[in-house]
A and B are shown apart, each in its own frame.
Chain A
Amino acid sequence: MTDRDTDAAFAELERTWASRPGLIGFLTAVNHKQIGLRFIWTAVVFLLIGGVEALLIRLQLATSDGTVLGPEAYNQLFTMHGTTMMFLFGIPILEGLAMYFVPLQIGTRDLPLPRLNAFGYWVYLFGGILLHWSFLTGDVPDGGWFAYPPLTSTEFSPGAGIDFWLLGVTFVEISGIIGAVEIVVLIMRFRAPGMTLSRIPLFSWSALIMSGMMLFAFPFVVAASVLLEVERKFGAPFYDPSLGGDPLLWQHLFWIFGHPEVYILLLPATGIVSAVVAAHVRRPVVAYPLVVASLVAIAIASFGLWVHHMFTVGLPVLVLSLFAVASYFIAVPSGIQVFAWIATIWEGRPRWGTPLWFVIGFLVIFVLGGITGVMVATAPFDHQAHDTFFVVAHFHYVLIGGVVFPVFAGLHHWFPKMTGRLPSESIGKTAFWLMFVGFNVAFFPQHWLGLQGMVRRTYTYPAGLGWEAANMASTVGSFVLAAGVLLFLANLAHAWRRGRESGPDPWGADTLEWAAQSPPNNHNFDSLPVVGSLSPLWDRGAHGYDDETLESIGVLGRPWLGRREVLRTTVVAADPEAIVVLPGPTYWPFVTAAALTSSLVGVLVDAWALAGLGAVVAVAFLIGWATEDRVRLTRQSSDPSGTSPDFLAAVGTDEDPGHEVSGSDQAPALARRRAAEHFKALTPRGHSASWWGVMVGLTALATIVAALVYAYFYLRLGADSWPPSRSSERPLGIPLAALALVVVAGVLSMPRAGSGLARWLAMGLAAGGLTLQVVAVVGSGYRIDANAYEAIVIVLEVMAASLLAVALLVRATMLVEAMRSPTDPEPVEVDIAYWRGALVLWAVLWAVVHVAPRVV
């Protein structure tokens, strides 16, 4: 093959994977690097906004009897500061880094559901704008970042501020869930051939675990927020004890999300630390299996700690002990990671650049935050320190030390990959020292202030308590910290234009992203790599083209018919499974997110017509999205004849040993033989990316259902009589008929290859079941504002009906699609997957509504 042919193949790949130019390109882009970068820089903008809010808070507290802010503005600023940092900066920047770098680290070309990824970004952006739009209306949220009722009920927060918070946060969390679905499917199914579970880089492991946690944690805050918004808009008394509700229900739902949220932020940050440490001390992180096990252990254990945020609400002492034990033990896997990094630095050859200094800062600050974490996990101590500045100091040590420092280490470390330019080391180190010193001056004194009795969330304090010096130091420190942040960002901004060129791998790092160009071209890799090692770039030098190395074999080295092809592999062994074709640029994500936002604004301002119209338009857009140009976007080769001829030629088949194509003439014969062995048996099998997306998405949906069912039983356990005397038990006749219809519909949908007629029939039966369900609810005479029982029953019924209605829409769309593309198995398997999941959840909700009151 000549250089000219190789150049032509490269140009063809670039063209195939390119985004459109200009504004149209901005609105239609789906490429993981563009979307990832947007997440990162949007999050940085929100970091600056949240930082300004923090500085105003510190100015107010710098002196006793401060007058910079009034009490109302102070409440608004600490609410928006916490909300911005937790929801609009922390999660999005980590998701952005994962979206940008995980596909590169695992050797693929894009995320598996790129349009969904773009949709997630627009939802995040619009949700963030909506939250901050409250500053323009004057109705700024002021109930704290955890929005406890009854403070956030209409009685005590009558304006629209809390509605801004509830709707904005819910929208942003949905974006988070979407990103999580993407990353889980990506890492489980789209790793480079040979990248077994034990060869996944630690940052990618941490991104996978972060995303898995988000699927189980975020639905709880979505459910809690929806219940509170329904209470505020329609008077449903979920959190009102006078009508059978309980404000502690909010605390349980919120902290079942809120505690894992801390680790959702922390774990990917530790993944960044692992990546930076390995690259900058020039050896792999020691005890890889132990570090992975620690990540998993922390992730799981974090779901059993939520009550330690509620130690002072009056729970039995034994309950406090059970949760304190779990809280202590999470220090064990955290400590294992810390010792692994220290040992790696000890054993390696450190290059003391800016990223490694940020890691050192992380280690010092995070360990201090961890120690105070063990202190507040001790119930008697927590009773003294609760709601004081000691807790403020503790969580800033954990969150700034544990998240911001690693993120900045990662930004400096990966900046050359994103831009092809090197930031200034001297300015980077100066920024680090400003941040490190400023941070400790700002927050260490707050431990002492808390122990002296200075409580959180009060806008000022009187003179004469001896708190002035520590508060002034804290304020000065916060400004020094802010100067460090600004200097760091200015360094990156300057380097983007004028930094020295970095080349593809300025650090001599080990993972696959450094094998791509800097910045990576549209298609990431000219041909997909085959991986035989945890550190493929380092092992390449040692072994040459062996099976322990990164091999260049020309796989998918030339696009076929302009299609965006990637390789799907098996979960554990990463054996090739099928070629998948990804969709290209499209407007659907943007317009769908815009329609949903208009619906949200309608709810916010009580313009119900706008809300309904926005929802209907969004559904129409979703149908358009699902049916978009299926010929061009055929997702999966259904048989070998659908596979690119170049690909088959490159890898060889039983009949044809293969011949030279598309750059593979550069690879030695040994590599070609192994590549052929790898791919010759490749017959497309397994489920499509969309099927995996639906299954992972159903996990989040099931968690929302679980949160609502949890709310039902929590309210039931606190009630003297259930149902209350006003709420007669509903007759079972019509609900049983609905159940029968839905069950038969489910049975008819069971056969994977069932006829289209059976699925149409099942659709009709399910529609009948849905109609009967609506009739039963309307006929029950239940009112959403009557009492907590009737309110939660109505919410469960609406949730069940929504599941069924969406199932009907999915089926109708997919059946039409199946008729248009009869050889494509994807519409049928997507339909069956969602249908089964939705019907099972519907049946669970039916049992809770109709059976639970009779037996529990």
Chain B
Amino acid sequence: MTQDSSRRADIPSPGWLWVTLLAGPLAWFGHLNISYALVYLTCRPWGVLWLHLVTAAAVATIAVAMGVGWRRRNSQTHARSEMTEVPESGWQLVGILGRLLGLFFLLVTVMAGVASAMVSPCI
């Protein structure tokens, strides 16, 4: 138990961990719903640009959050393999979840952005 306490002292501030955990899902959810609403407004010259800007903003948000999580990963994992072993500390798991969810929702957002680039909002 003492060991756990000392580990907790090493890890980054929990605020950052929650940001890395939530950034991906929230950015994706915002991207999906804003894009849905914008489809009705973008069938005009250059209107589709707004869709791409929303995609860029969502991707950038997720990427920054993942970058922060990645830079601080060592302080959470203590050189243990993430995929094969159960992390010791609850905070480590939060960090791992943040990076995995970020990666997943980054892919979904990028693919939705590709759809925006390939399909006309006018049909």
Contact = CB atoms under 8 A, between A and B. Distances in A.
Physical interaction between A and B: yes
Interface of A: 194, 196-199, 284, 286-290, 292-293, 296-297, 300-301, 303-304, 307, 316-319, 321-326, 329, 332-333, 534, 547, 572-574, 674, 677-678, 717
A301 B105 CA distance: 9
A344 to B, nearest CB: 12
B121 A316 contact: yes
B41 to A, nearest CB: 10
- Residue from A197, A318, A326, A574 with most neighbouring chain B CB atoms (10 Å): A318
23 contacts: A194-B1, A196-B88, A198-B87, A198-B90, A199-B90, A284-B86, A286-B84, A287-B84, A289-B83, A289-B87, A289-B100, A290-B100, A292-B97, A293-B97, A300-B28, A304-B28, A317-B123, A321-B115, A326-B108, A326-B112, A534-B86, A547-B3, A674-B1
B101 interface: yes
A198 B32 contact: no
A550 to B, nearest CB: 14
Given A322-B36, A325-B115, A197 B83 contact: no
A198 B83 contact: no
Contact of A316 (B8, B40, B88, B108): B40
B96 A289 contact: yes
Nearest to A289: B96
B49 interface: no
Contacts of B108: 301, 325-326, 329
B96 to A, nearest CB: 5
B39 A316 contact: yes
A176 B83 CA distance: 34
Interface string B101-123: 10011011001100110111111
A196 B2 CA distance: 14
Contact of B120 (A197, A300, A301, A318): A318
Contacts of B90: 196-199, 572-574
Interface in B48-75: none
B112 A573 contact: no
Interface of chain A, helix or strand or loop or mixed?
Answer: helix
Contact of A678 (B1, B14, B25, B118): B1
Given A289-B82, A329-B104, A573 B4 contact: yes
A580 B91 CA distance: 25
A572 B104 contact: no
A198 B115 contact: no
A317 B82 contact: no
B116 A293 contact: no
A196 B89 contact: yes
B35 interface: yes
A279 B106 CA distance: 35
Nearest to B14: A572
A323 B87 CA distance: 34
B19 interface: no
B82 A304 contact: no
A284 B36 CA distance: 42
Given A296-B101, A303-B29, A317-B123, A547 B1 contact: yes
A645 B36 CA distance: 61
B25 to A, nearest CB: 4
B39 to A, nearest CB: 5
Contacts of A322: 32, 35-36, 39, 112, 115-116
Contacts of A288: 86
Contacts of A333: 104
Given A318-B39, A318-B119, A329 B32 contact: no
Contact of B32 (A296, A326, A534, A574): A326
Contact of B89 (A332, A573, A717): A573
A572 B11 CA distance: 13
B101 A287 contact: no
A605 to B, nearest CB: 41
- The 4 tightest CB contacts between A and B, nearest first, are A197-B90, A196-B90, A572-B90, A321-B115
Contacts of B82: 289
A292 B93 contact: yes
Contacts of B105: 297, 300-301
Given A297-B104, A318-B121, A325-B115, A197 B1 contact: no
B92 interface: yes
Given A293-B104, A301-B28, A321-B119, 5 more contacts: A196-B4, A300-B101, A321-B112, A333-B104, A572-B90
B80 to A, nearest CB: 11
Contacts of A547: 1, 3
Contacts of B122: 316
A677 B1 contact: yes
A407 to B, nearest CB: 27
B93 A197 contact: yes
Contact of B94 (A284, A290, A297, A572): A572
A293 B39 contact: no
A323 B39 CA distance: 13
B105 to A, nearest CB: 8
A198 B93 contact: yes
B94 to A, nearest CB: 7
A573 B97 contact: no
Contacts of B35: 322
Contacts of A678: 1
B101 A297 contact: yes
A747 to B, nearest CB: 27
B119 to A, nearest CB: 5
Contact of B116 (A297, A318, A332, A677): A318
A674 B112 CA distance: 52
B111 A329 contact: yes
Contact of B83 (A287, A323, A573, A677): A287
Contact of B36 (A287, A319, A534): A319
B122 to A, nearest CB: 8
A714 to B, nearest CB: 11
B33 to A, nearest CB: 8
A848 to B, nearest CB: 17
A539 to B, nearest CB: 11
